[in-house]
């Protein structure tokens, strides 16, 4: 493996919550890598460890064993400060429960990661507006999360995850609260970011959405039990009529 185009690598990652008798093993020796231009879907039953995998991959919690490597950086070797910077610059996170800041408008929520990274709010304005436009919420820029529907909040969260062109997007059920057309909009956006060179992990229980990925890994009890890779040429159809 040359490693040069690998954005994310999980090496033997395990995660245990609690200890002793009541310990729960959420991940058990997961190996997974995501390259530039690759979208990986993660599927599995509720409680199989999907969200845990994303949190660990995004450096939000250290694994109890194994190593997470993002853009060549071993997360375990970074200081808290370096880790925070890497997360801000390189990672876009869409949480299962959106995690918007209630006292900020949609636009402010989206531009926040840029401003935290030292951009002036003036400079952050344009890309934030663009990101909101992509998720078709340009007209809701000044609304607070409490005034938005669940699906709209989810779209704001997605705009926040992709703003500023971060290289690795980690999305936990990003289409969960969306109808099928809006869900497709989000997938198309995710797909186009990835096709432009980013990498992404998409956690979803929706088979039709997972099918947008280049690779699908199946988690069961914290282990990757199988993987489906789309072949370059489809054998199923004779192709598009002219």
Partner 1 sequence: MSVRQSLLAILNQGPCYGYQLRAEFDRRTGSTWPLNVGQIYNTLDRLERDGLVQKADIDADGQNYVEITDAGRAEVADWLGSPVVRTMATRDELAIKLAIAVTLPGVDIAQVIQVQRTATMRTLQELTRAKNATADPESSEQLAWLLVIDSLIFAAEAEARWLDHSEHRLARARAAGLAAPLPLNTAVPKRGRPAKTAAASA
Residues within the interface to partner 1 (CB under 8 A) = 43, 45, 191, 205, 207-208, 210-214, 216, 218, 220, 225-231, 234-242
Query: Among ligand ATP, partner 1, Mg ion, none, what binds residue 227 when CB lies within 5 to 8 Å by partner kind?
Result: partner 1
Contact 160, 110 (CB under 8 A): yes
- Min dist. Cβ of residue 190 to ligand ATP (A): 18
Cα dihedral 139, 144, 148, 150, rounded to 10, equals 130
Query: Which C-beta is closer to partner 1: that of 83 or that of 213?
Result: 213
Candidates 3, 12, 17, 97; binder of ligand ATP (CB under 6 A) is 17
Query: Among ligand ATP, Mg ion, partner 1, none, what binds residue 49 when CB lies within 5 to 8 Å by partner kind?
Result: ligand ATP
Site for Mg ion in 27-66 (CB under 5 A): 51
- Min dist. Cβ of residue 133 to ligand ATP (A): 30
**Burial (0-12, 13-18, 19+ Cβ within 10 Å), 99:** middle
DSSP labels for 37-74?
T-EEEEEE-TTSSHHHHHHHHTTSS--SEEEEEETTEE
- Min dist. Cβ of residue 17 to ligand ATP (A): 3
Q: Which two tokens stand for residue 187?
A: 């997938």
Binding track over 65-104 against ligand ATP, x by CB under 6 A: -------------------------------x--------
By CB under 6 A, is residue 50 in contact with ligand ATP? yes
In the complex, which residue's CB is closest to Mg ion? Answer: 51
Query: Which C-beta is closer to Mg ion: that of 34 or that of 171?
Result: 171
The residue whose two tokens read 């002219």 is 242
DSSP labels for 150-168?
HHHHHHHHHHHHHTT--SE
Query: Which C-beta is closer to Mg ion: that of 51 or that of 154?
Result: 51
How far is 82 from 194, CA to CA, in rounded Å? 25
How far is 81 from 16, CA to CA, in rounded Å? 25
By CB under 5 A, is residue 111 in contact with Mg ion? no
**Burial (0-12, 13-18, 19+ Cβ within 10 Å), 14:** middle
Tell me which stretch binds ligand ATP (CB under 6 A): 18-26, 116-124, 150-158, 188-196: 18-26
Candidates 52, 152, 175, 204; binder of ligand ATP (CB under 6 A) is 52
User: Which of 22, 32, 45, 12 has its CA nearest to residue 221?
Assistant: 45
By CB under 5 A, is residue 175 in contact with Mg ion? no
The residue whose two tokens read 């436009």 is 133
Instruction: Give the bridge partners for 67, in sequence order.
Output: 11
DSSP-based three-state secondary structure for 26: strand
Q: Interface with ligand ATP by CB under 6 A: which residues?
A: 17-18, 24, 26, 44, 46-52, 96
């Amino acid at each position: 493996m040359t490693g040069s185009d690998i954005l994310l690598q999980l090496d033997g990652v395990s995660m245990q919550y609690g200890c002793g008798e009541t310990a729960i093993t959420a991940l058990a020796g997961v190996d997974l890598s995501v390259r530039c231009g690759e979208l990986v879907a993660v599927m599995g039953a509720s409680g199989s460890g999907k969200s845990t995998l994303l949190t660990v991959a995004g450096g939000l919690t250290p694994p109890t064993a194994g190593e997470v490597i993002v853009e060549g950086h071993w997360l375990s070797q970074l200081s808290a400060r370096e880790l925070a910077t890497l997360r801000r610059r390189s990672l876009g996170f869409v949480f299962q429960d959106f995690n918007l800041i209630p006292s900020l408008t949609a636009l402010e929520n989206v531009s926040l990661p840029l401003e935290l990274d030292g951009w002036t709010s003036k400079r952050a304005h344009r890309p934030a507006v663009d990101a909101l436009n992509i998720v078709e919420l340009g007209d809701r820029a000044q609304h607070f999360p409490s005034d938005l529907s669940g699906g709209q909040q989810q779209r704001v969260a997605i705009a926040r995850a992709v703003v500023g062109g971060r290289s690795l997007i980690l999305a936990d059920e990003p289409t969960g609260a969306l109808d099928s057309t809006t869900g497709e909009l989000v997938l198309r956006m995710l797909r186009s970011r990835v096709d432009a060179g980013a990498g992404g992990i998409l956690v979803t229980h929706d088979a039709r959405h997972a099918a947008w990925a280049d690779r699908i890994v199946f988690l069961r009890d914290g282990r990757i039990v199988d993987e489906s890779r789309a072949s370059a040429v489809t054998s199923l159809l004779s192709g598009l009529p002219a």
